[in-house]
Amino acid sequence: MSISNLSEPSHGDISADRKNLTPCSIVIFGASGDLTARKLIPALYHLFKEKQMPSDFRVIGFARREKTDDSWRTELRAALNDFSRTKPVDDKVWADFAKNIFYCQGDLTETPACEKLETLLTSFGSAPLRENLLFYLAISPSQFGEVVEQVHRTGLLNKEGAGWQRIVVEKPFGHDLASAQALNRELTRYAHEQQVFRIDHYLGKETVQNILMFRFSNSIFERLWNREAVDHVQITVSEKIGVGGRGGYYEEAGALRDMVQNHMLQVLSLIAMEPPVSLEAESVRDEKVKLLKSIRPLSRDDVAKQVVRGQYFAGAVSGEPRPGYRQETKVNPASNVETFAAMKLFIDNWRWSGVPFYLRTGKNLPMSASEVRIQFRPTPNVLFAAKCGGSLGANALTLRLQPNEGISLRFNGKVPGTTLGARPVRMHFSYDSEFGAYTPEAYERLLLEAIAGDATLFIRRDEVETAWQIADSIRAGWEGKSLTNREFYAAGTWGPIAADDLLAQLGHEWHEPQVIK
């Protein structure tokens, strides 16, 4: 069963909400890294192709390696063949785009290198190209402070003055609350908080952005979005891949720091927040922070009852053998690092009092999927429930964030025949069917918003720090404890037995993501 929109789809008409953009220069620090070739340049190329970039702009790659403008352009053109979301790459569009790409070689922590960058920016001739600057820090967080200081000393970054300057930083935003606070102090020493754009690519996904639209523009659902109608909520982010070559990173991060502290708490805040007073950036971010601060604090005893970790051992995913986590490269053979995390959280506010929110994420699970399932309260066990028994399930609304992006509503229908039988049926809305002609990548939207100065989809300082408080309380509860047998799971399964035990406490069970055709 499917649902169609009531008017003709606009398939690619993105001009209606065209941003008012000023000419600017985009400086990418760490331009030799994978992020630039895989995400940033393809995103900027597609924005240019869709006529979404400012009327005049420059892209400057800054890195230590010796390169010329032409050699860097050649490298990026080759990478675009692999990473462009549309194939083949349009040679004419690329040629026009590449004219705006330049390379600046130097050590980003040294003043002469930043002075060289300033000279390059001045050579463009236009004042906006010299004064309106977007600094993208595609580098290690340990270098953020030095780079911000250097560009400030060179006069390229100011809290006040001509034009605008913004800093875009990638996660991780620290590894705990203390380090996040220190990092925030470094970033805001030479820039206002309003100039700092902390990027989480999850917030750039169309399906994640649509959560607020779905909730607050459809009265039939918004009036059900509370403790009176909702039994519980499940948020699942499953990954089919293992840690692969990222064993060293994962030993430091684990599933909690890698996924829960950022992506999953972001989705939770959008699902559960109160309606903002407007769509202005600070109004939206205020409500997200209020929601995170409403999550019931977890003591060490609470962590033992409400949080589960897990680690995969050798198994098979879709018939492909996978080694155990402890056999992965750069992993301690006796590691207790979690590759799976599940938790039951409560939000202590008027709307959600008493409603459990279940979050889970893991590596080497049967499929890669991200979804939110709103499970509604069952009907009274008097009429059909008494006759149909277990075949009469509770209604559920599923927001599929990836893949097969869409929204499904599950309800009960009578099975045709002479007897009274019920079967769950589903109405499904598919993004691909309705809007498939234009599906921008997350980085396209986020870069466009950063150039426009709209911080709605970026993470504010207090938001980062509140999320770390939650994660730190969980890590404190795990400290000094080894994994138990019920916390290990075979690669290719849906996680440890302990995760099923967690939901069984309240008579619930996990609903696995389904392949939607």
Residue 446 above 60 pLDDT?
Answer: yes
Let me know whether 164 and 251 are in one domain.
no
Let me know whether 129 and 227 are in one domain.
no
- CA-nearest of 168, 159, 267, 251 to 214 is 267
pLDDT at 201: 84
Q: Is 182 among the domain residues? A: no
Q: How confident is the model at residue 422 (pLDDT cuts 50, 70, 90)?
A: confident
Let me know whether 378 and 234 are in one domain.
yes
- Which of 193-207, 333-347, 435-449 has the lowest average pLDDT? 435-449
Residue 157 above 80 pLDDT?
Answer: yes
Let me know whether 165 and 211 are in one domain.
no
Summarised one tens digit per residue, pLDDT across range 279-290 is 899 999 999 999
Q: Output the furthest CA–CA distance in the chain (Å, rounded).
A: 85
Determine the Cα–Cα distance for residues 431 and 4; give it in Å rounded to an integer. Answer: 10
Beta bridge partners of 345: 357
Q: How confident is the model at residue 300 (pLDDT cuts 50, 70, 90)?
A: very high
Residue 334 identity (one-letter amino acid): A
Q: Which of 46, 263, 428, 508 is catalytic?
A: 263
State the total domains in the chain.
Answer: 2
Tokens coding 132: 């309106």
Let me know whether 334 and 233 are in one domain.
yes
Domain ranges, residue 403: 203-504
Mean pLDDT across the stretch 489-515? 93
Q: What is the CATH number of the domain that holds 383?
A: 3.30.360.10
Q: How confident is the model at residue 11 (pLDDT cuts 50, 70, 90)?
A: very low
Burial 299-336 (b: 16+ CB within 10 A, else e): eeebbeebbbbbbbbebebeeeebbbbbebeebeeebe
Let me know whether 157 and 282 are in one domain.
no
Domain limit, last residue, from 171, 193, 215: 171
Q: Is 12 among the domain residues? A: no
pLDDT at 391: 57
Residue 16 above 60 pLDDT?
Answer: no
Indicate the DSSP class of residue 194. Answer: G
Domain limit, last residue, from 130, 152, 171: 171
pTM of the predicted model as reported, rounded to 2 decimal places: 0.90
Let me know whether 334 and 483 are in one domain.
yes
Q: What is the CATH number of the domain that holds 122?
A: 3.40.50.720
Q: Is 262 helix (H, G, I), strand (E, B) or coil?
A: helix
- CA-nearest of 136, 210, 199, 131 to 170 is 199
Let me know whether 214 and 69 are in one domain.
no
pLDDT at 14: 38
Q: Is 4 among the domain residues? A: no
> Residue 131 to residues 110, 165, 297, 482: CA-CA distances in angstroms?
21, 7, 45, 54
Residue 220 above 60 pLDDT?
Answer: yes
Q: Is 436 among the domain residues? A: yes
Is-catalytic flag, 511? no
pLDDT at 22: 94
Q: Is 511 among the domain residues? A: no
Q: Is 430 among the domain residues? A: yes
pLDDT at 195: 95
- Which of 68-82, 264-278, 427-441, 460-474 has the lowest average pLDDT? 427-441
- CA-nearest of 195, 172, 203 to 265 is 203
Let me know whether 217 and 165 are in one domain.
no
- Which of 155-164, 364-373, 458-467 has the lowest average pLDDT? 155-164
Determine the Cα–Cα distance for residues 166 and 134; give it in Å rounded to an integer. Answer: 5
pLDDT at 15: 39
Q: Is 10 among the domain residues? A: no
Domain limit, last residue, from 171, 194, 224: 171
92 contact partners, CB below 8 Å, separation of at least 6: none
> Residue 286 to residues 193, 277, 351, 461: CA-CA distances in angstroms?
14, 10, 17, 11
pLDDT at 497: 96
Let me know whether 155 and 212 are in one domain.
no
- Please provide the average confidence, as pLDDT, over all residues in the chain: 89
Mean pLDDT across the stretch 322-336? 94
Let me know whether 315 and 377 are in one domain.
yes
- Which of 4-18, 135-149, 253-267, 388-402 has the lowest average pLDDT? 4-18
- Which of 205-219, 226-240, 329-343 has the lowest average pLDDT? 205-219
Residue 216 identity (one-letter amino acid): F
Mean pLDDT across the stretch 223-237? 96
Let me know whether 358 and 456 are in one domain.
yes
Q: Is 78 among the domain residues? A: yes
